Amino acid sequence: MIKVLKNKDGNVAIQACVIILCLLLVFTVISEYLRLQIIAKGVRDAVQTSVISVAIQNYNEVYNGLREGYSGGYELDVSDTWVSRVDEGSVLLELSNSLGLVGGEKYNNGVVEFEITDLYINITNVPLAPGNNDERFESEVWLTLEVPISFGWEDLPPMSIRMKVNAGYTPKF
């Protein structure tokens, strides 16, 4: 074995093969990382679009207090008091339509590309008489994105991240 290592013949075919294999390994790791980043960004953008849609759907319920500057979702009830009125919309339905989800999973050629679970929607209504103008009508969505890793011959666990997406409504006029 030592003679083979000390051999000074001009054959570099083995070293070239090793270098090429190492470069292929590095390239596949980088491409898998970029694939995960692209999927995560696409899901985040789609969720953000859905959350903005929920904020827009609540536009008709937002109190138009031009003089006072209120922007909360309130309604005057029969007893002449202001009651908070907001709806959560259908974020999951819009996500399913925009991303092509089937039961929270996206399939590509019969293989699960990613899965969205634990969807939680929180709508923060502005107080009727806010103390400052920094407060606004906001919607936030929490979800878990799980993407199976195609590198590592399925020995690696899937990428699982908890995402938070916000959108808000502030009246312009």
> Average pLDDT of 116-129?
78
Q: How many CB atoms lie within 10 A of CB 3?
A: 6
Cα distances (Å, whole numbers) of residue 111 to 115, 163, 165? 11, 23, 27
* Residue 40 three-state SS: helix
List, in order, residues 6 or more apart from 122 with CB less than 8 Å away.
Answer: 139, 140, 141, 142
Q: What is the pLDDT of residues 126-155, one digit of tens each?
A: 666 656 656 667 778 899 999 988 876 667
Question: Which strands form 105-108's sheet, in the order they lie side by side?
Answer: 105-108, 111-124, 137-147, 159-169
Q: What is the mean pLDDT of the chain?
A: 78
Residue with tokens 């031009």: 66
Q: Is the predicted pLDDT of residue 86 greater than 70, yes or no?
A: no
pLDDT confidence bin for 66, thresholds 50/70/90: very low
Q: Indicate the pTM of the whole model.
A: 0.71
Domain borders along the chain are 11-60+87-169
Tell me the pLDDT tens digit for each residue of 15-64. Answer: 889 899 999 999 998 999 999 999 999 998 888 888 777 767 666 555 55
